[in-house]
């Protein structure tokens, strides 16, 4: 998995900053699934809340078995689909190719600091 710096585009006084796609830098990102990891410092278990288009699941897992972006505390993953990167993938012969994996925006705590990054792949 590649980690990429988060870039914000223009700031709009009524809407906030535009989040730029980590691969093409365009602003047309669509939010998809969200996963929240509730873990107090070094707890053996993590409560994982996963939301998709139709449901919300809340499950407690051993902390080492989750994909929590934080190695020790709380974390959040938001999946995004880019209008430019994910909708049209045409190969050199003109055939439509499968979509690339969604981009994941990770926000997490580590040693009192909150970090934000893109996770690709």
**Is residue 4 a contact point for Zn ion (CB under 5 A)?**
no
CB of 62 to Zn ion, least distance (A): 35
CB of 80 to Zn ion, least distance (A): 9
- Tell me the window of 16-24, 46-54, 62-70, 104-112 that interacts with Zn ion (CB under 5 A): 16-24
What b-and-e string marks burial along 75-109, b requiring 16 or more CB atoms within 10 Å of the CB?
bbbbbbbbeebbeeeeeeeeeeeeeeebbbbbbbb
**Tokens coding 94:** 């003109």
Interactions with Zn ion, residue window 102-121 (CB under 5 A): none
Considering beta carbons, is residue 88 or 114 the nearer one to Zn ion? 88
**Is residue 82 a contact point for Zn ion (CB under 5 A)?**
yes
The DSSP call for residue 89 is -
CB of 21 to Zn ion, least distance (A): 3
C-alpha dist (Å) from residue 62 to 44, 50, 71, 110, 112: 6, 16, 13, 19, 22
Q: Count other C-beta atoms under 10 Å from residue 118's C-beta.
A: 20
**Is residue 24 a contact point for Zn ion (CB under 5 A)?**
yes
Which residues lie near Zn ion (CB under 5 A)?
21, 23-24, 82, 84-85
């Amino acid at each position: 998995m590649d980690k990429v710096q988060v870039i914000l585009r223009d700031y709009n006084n009524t809407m906030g900053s535009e989040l730029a796609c980590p691969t093409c830098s365009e602003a047309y990102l669509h939010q998809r699934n969200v996963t929240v990891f509730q873990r107090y410092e070094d707890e053996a278990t993590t409560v994982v809340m996963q939301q998709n288009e139709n449901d919300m699941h809340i499950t407690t897992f051993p902390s080492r078995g989750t994909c929590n972006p934080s190695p020790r505390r709380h974390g959040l993953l938001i999946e995004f689909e880019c209008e430019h990167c994910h909708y049209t993938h045409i190969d050199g012969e003109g055939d439509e190719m499968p979509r690339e994996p969604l981009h994941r925006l990770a926000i997490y705590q580590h040693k009192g600091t909150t970090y934000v990054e893109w996770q690709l792949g």
